[in-house]
Amino acid sequence: MLVGPVFTREAAVAPRRRKLYVFRTVYAISLLLLMCTAWLILVRTQVIRNLGDMARFGAILFQILAPLQLVLILFMAAVQTASSVAIEKDKQTLILLLMTRLSNSELVLGKLFASLLGIGVMLLTAVPIFMLIVLFGGTSFDQVGWTFAVTVVTAFASGSLGSTIALWREKTFQTLALVALSILFWVGGAEAIAAWGGTIGGISAIQIATALNPLRAILIASSPSVVSEWSSGVMPFLCAMGGVAILLNILAISCVRRWNPSRDVRIGQSAQGEDDTVFSETAAMSKSGDVPTIAQRDETSRQTHVDARVRTANQKSRKVWDNPVLWRECCTWAYGKRIIFIRGAYWVFAAAVFYVLFNMVQSGNIMRRGSESAVAIPAAAWALAPFMLLSLVMINALGVTSMTNERDGRSLDLLLVTDLSPREFLFGKLGGVLYVTFDALLLPLVLCGYLWISGTVSLEYYSYLVIGILVLDVFVAMLGLHCGMIYSNSRQAIGVSLGTVFFLFLGVVTAMVMMVSFTGNVEAQITPFLACIVGGGVGLYVALGSRNPSPALALASGLLPLAMFFSITSMLLGRYLSVLLVMAFTYGFTTTAMIMPALGEFNISMGRVRQNEDD
């Protein structure tokens, strides 16, 4: 049974699920669509004279798609493994697995490889597509092989990281936030070592950073020089990340029963034991031969009835607000006390970004363009972009888990039978998400404010940044709540919600890189990108509006990709006000389209009927 019955069951059931074929088909079509878009950009703006031009196109295309696939797989592997284990905890089924004859290794490795099974299928689907790029020239089969080797090891390492953190932490939001922070500290720490520039044991900082950073490794693996540099550029990364993944799994295997069940579950079991004291005393009397009288049995029944239970409050009761949902989100530890640790780590990461910006300002390189391919992306944007993405991911993760936790914990049923109105429930949840993630809202504005104080950007551009960031924050928070309400399967809700955020972010980056890599004539690229815009709009509607059809969501799904393309071209042309207006209108309209149906009724999928795609 390979690595245990958990993986065996997943391997046997996965081919029967429709979504397995849908995901790999969509992924293959997306890669082919990007290839066709890049080709149309090339032939519409440049003249292909010889085989050398074809080879340069193949080389550039391969070096765009390889890092894109790596980043996608890196986050997907970590999120899927983490959410798979976290949802088992929310539904309290992990305790049942711990009570079986499963060994620790079968449980940990079974859940890990079962979660990575879909990603492995996606990579196998992508292999022939990347082989097609070799036909253009400029790329060899060795590059394809080393590229996929780096991607597979990265998926194994990030999946092991997500699984270990999920087995350690109790709350789903804590798990997802720590996974995102760990990945950014992983990549950022490697880049910090490279910036240090020293040597450790005769090994240079660049070599250490290459062995730790998957982005550096994939750039080497996708370059033609990998034929001669694989031993010094790729193999150290494969060995180092493989070793780290093995150590993480050893840690999870040795501590899984120490971490689970959690301390809260043990405390609840102790309290339940105290409530059963009366029954124990009655049983003891029966064993000793003292048969209780009818009056004694009646008194025992009365004492154990729920109406007779009295607890003495050891502290003053707190006054609940008019909106109890908002009060619970803001005034209680609804997401665990360890969220303070996550906030601390987030502040540390913000301090590191501030240090980088401060050094750039002092050296005068804050607005430096690193290369011709980064013509419109200054150094400050490269430093702030990962931090901005982390903020959006944390807000979105809290939004979707605030709904999935209520449903998995069976507390959503109780809320729906109270006198809470849909408006109170929705805005209570939305306000609570924004309150708990206040750090993620504030610190990006503070860092952008430093750019204004240092004179890097004007007050006008800083105001553009503030408005744009706030609009995106509200959008991703409502996106998480929306996905949590329309998807009854928690893992599917988390995957769609975070996947939409990554799709929009990576879509922008990919489109921008393709524009500036093949040509600088952005006006001539509208037609080649129309296929991507249409495909992206259909994908967004399937993810956000297919389960709850709405004309407003259909319009918003079509507008978002078109608006993002317009924003990219406007930014490349320096029309920043147009970027702000289009983004504020489009994302504001999409947010409103998700809010309005939820205000009229509790349109929440409870998962009473199992559907084929959720089996």
Give the model confidence (pLDDT) of 352-361 as tens digits: 889 888 888 8
Query: Which two tokens mark 106?
Result: 């079968």
d(CA 41, CA 525): 6
Sorted by sequence, the CB contacts under 8 Å of residue 373 that are 6+ apart come out as 513, 516, 517
Q: Is the pLDDT of residue 383 over 50?
A: yes
Which of 263, 408, 425, 434 is closest to 336 using CA atoms? 263
- 3-state secondary structure at position 369: strand
User: What string of DSSP letters covers 313-359?
Assistant: -SSPPPPPPSSHHHHHHHHS-TT-TTHHHHHHHHHHHHHHHHHHHHH
Helix, strand, coil % over all residues of the chain, rounded to 5: 80, 0, 20
Task: Convert the pLDDT of each residue in 125-139 to its tens digit.
Answer: 999 999 988 888 888
Cα 287 vs. chain centroid, distance in angstroms? 57
Sorted by sequence, the CB contacts under 8 Å of residue 404 that are 6+ apart come out as 87, 90, 172, 484, 490, 493, 494
d(CA 354, CA 214): 24
Phi and psi torsions of 317, nearest 5°: -70, 150
Ramachandran sector of residue 369 (left: φ over 0; alpha: ψ -120 to 50; beta: rest): beta
Q: Is the pLDDT of residue 529 over 70?
A: no
Query: Which two tokens mark 85?
Result: 């284990």
Task: Convert the pLDDT of each residue in 538-578 to its tens digit.
Answer: 777 877 877 777 888 888 888 888 887 777 777 767 788 88
Cα 549 vs. chain centroid, distance in angstroms? 25
Look over the chain and give the mean of its residue pLDDT values, rounded to a whole number. Answer: 81
d(CA 276, CA 269): 11
Burial (Cβ within 10 Å: 0-12, 13-18, ≥19) of residue 185: middle
Sorted by sequence, the CB contacts under 8 Å of residue 459 that are 6+ apart come out as 452
Task: Convert the pLDDT of each residue in 214-259 to its tens digit.
Answer: 988 998 898 888 888 787 778 999 999 999 999 999 999 999 988 8
Q: Which of 267-281, 377-391, 497-511 has the lowest mean pLDDT?
A: 267-281
Average pLDDT score over residue span 184-190: 87
Q: Is the pLDDT of residue 376 over 90?
A: no
Phi and psi torsions of 378, nearest 5°: -70, 170
d(CA 213, CA 205): 12
d(CA 490, CA 91): 10
Q: Is the pLDDT of residue 348 over 80?
A: yes
Q: Given CA atoms 483, 495, 434, 559 in this order, what sign does their dihedral have? A: negative
d(CA 426, CA 332): 18
Residue 204: which H helix or E strand, with range? strand 203-204
Sorted by sequence, the CB contacts under 8 Å of residue 388 that are 6+ apart come out as 444, 469
Q: Given this model, what pLDDT does residue 39 score? A: 76
